[in-house]
Amino acid sequence: MNETIRELLAQRHYGRLRAYLSELNVVDIAALFLGLSQEDMVLLFRLLPKETAADTFSYMESEAQQSLCEAMNDVELRAVLDELAMDDTVDMLEEMPANVVKKVLQSCDMQYRKSINQFLSYPEDSAGSLMTIELVDLKSSMTVGQAFDHIRRTGVNKETIYTCYVIGDNRVLEGVVTVKTLLLADKETLIGEIMETNIIYVHTLDDQEQIAYLFGKYDFLALPVVDTENRLVGIITIDDALDVIQEENTEDFEKMAAISPSDDSYLRTSVFTHAKKRIVWLLILMLSATVTGTIITKYEDAFAAIPLLVAFIPMIMDTGGNCGSQSSTLVIRGMALNEIAPRDALRVWFKEIRVALLVGVALALVNGLRIFFQYGSFLMAATVGFTLILTVCLSKSLGCILPIVAKRLKVDPAIMAAPIITTVVDACSIFIYFNVALLVLHV
């Protein structure tokens, strides 16, 4: 597709290019701008119809948006902003350098600039920073017929018209009604008689993670946002909620892999930034692993007497780390979905310890039989088997408890994932192994 666009641009076949673009979805058109020169970007953008251009602009990568903003004159920039949803404008400006933000704001009228500045003043990742003010509001005293007239008159540039919000004096949120409910009601029916008054809403300063949870729990298409006085100030739509869910999941995955979260995609992040975001945790984990080395050094006499002890160290450490990672992953995900709360710590631990006993005994039997038949030593088989049971129980206990403790301390539980759990379990498993060996083998 990109090659076709480049060829048509190079040959200056603008008529064919315009016809080609008219057959594409705006999301696919936005992807075409990647890799084009600034001159070709502007040329391609100017070939798009006004409304299509604004929709395409909202789906572009921030680099393409920045290039266009720098190249467009004030009239063109103003035309795009007029068609762009307010939340899309704010999202764009949050990614832009100061000089581009200044140019964009200068092309806006005073009222529009004031609205943008108000959005930008909300904390990042809050409901206020995600919402849009382009919504349909109704009065409870309206009839259904009057409501439809109002929707037809004002709904053209709204983010959504399917869900309408009923407001009273001073824009206090009173209810919500869907277009489906309106269509099935009599034209003379009052909105106040059919609106839903049991409203789920969020406040402007609520965290985006809570917002994503509400969308998932209640299957909303839109969620109203109110201020401290319960006045309707905006709505968050499902497309923004999906972006939040993706961002939160990506952040958790990065933390679980001991990587500092990044706002940019993998390919747009420089090598230096990648290294910087990984090296701190790697240094911490590397230095903390010296504890394991110290423990092994302390028991030099044991494996000097029975060198075979050393052969089972990697297997015991890996098994413990893997078991702990399994538990921590399940618990962290459960807390992210609000299936597990800190008050459930005892229930979670009791379930995991039973799982650990079943798993530990199975692993101990398999390894015990293998060691007995391979080395002919019942005591060595018993040492490794008993160590595995204790190690699995400990690692699964740590794997479920540490994320819950982190949650209780208001720390992201994702940091208590595989790397941290593995490092702690490695040291504990070696300590258990050699103490069991001292008891069983009398070394």
The answer to whether position 272 is within a domain reads: no
Q: Where are the beta strands (DSSP E) in 152-299?
A: 163-167, 173-178, 202-203, 222-226, 232-237
User: Same domain, yes or no, for 335 and 392?
Assistant: yes
Q: How many domains does the chain have?
A: 3
Dump pLDDT digits (tens) for 332-354.
888 887 889 889 999 999 999 99
CA dihedral defined by 318, 321, 326, 330, rounded to 10 degrees? -170
User: Same domain, yes or no, for 414 and 298?
Assistant: yes
The answer to whether position 269 is within a domain reads: no
Q: Which two tokens stand for residue 166?
A: 């009923």
User: Same domain, yes or no, for 89 and 178?
Assistant: no
How do 173-178 and 232-237 pair as beta strands?
A: unpaired
CATH assignment of the domain containing 295: 1.10.357.20
- The pLDDT value recorded for residue 91 is 78
pTM: 0.66
In terms of Cβ atoms closer than 10 Å to its own Cβ (0-12, 13-18, 19+), residue 24 is middle
Residues lower than pLDDT 70 in the chain = 1-2, 255-268, 281, 285, 288, 302-305, 416-418, 443
User: Same domain, yes or no, for 115 and 153?
Assistant: no
- The pLDDT value recorded for residue 138 is 95
Nearest of 387, 410, 270, 392 to residue 335 by alpha carbon: 410
User: Same domain, yes or no, for 413 and 305?
Assistant: yes
Domain termination residue (choose one: 236, 270, 301): 236
How long, in residues, is the chain? 443
User: Same domain, yes or no, for 312 and 436?
Assistant: yes
Dump pLDDT digits (tens) for 285-339.
677 677 777 777 777 776 666 778 888 888 998 898 889 888 988 898 888 878 8
The answer to whether position 328 is within a domain reads: yes
CATH assignment of the domain containing 28: 1.25.60.10
Q: Which domain holds residue 331?
A: 289-441
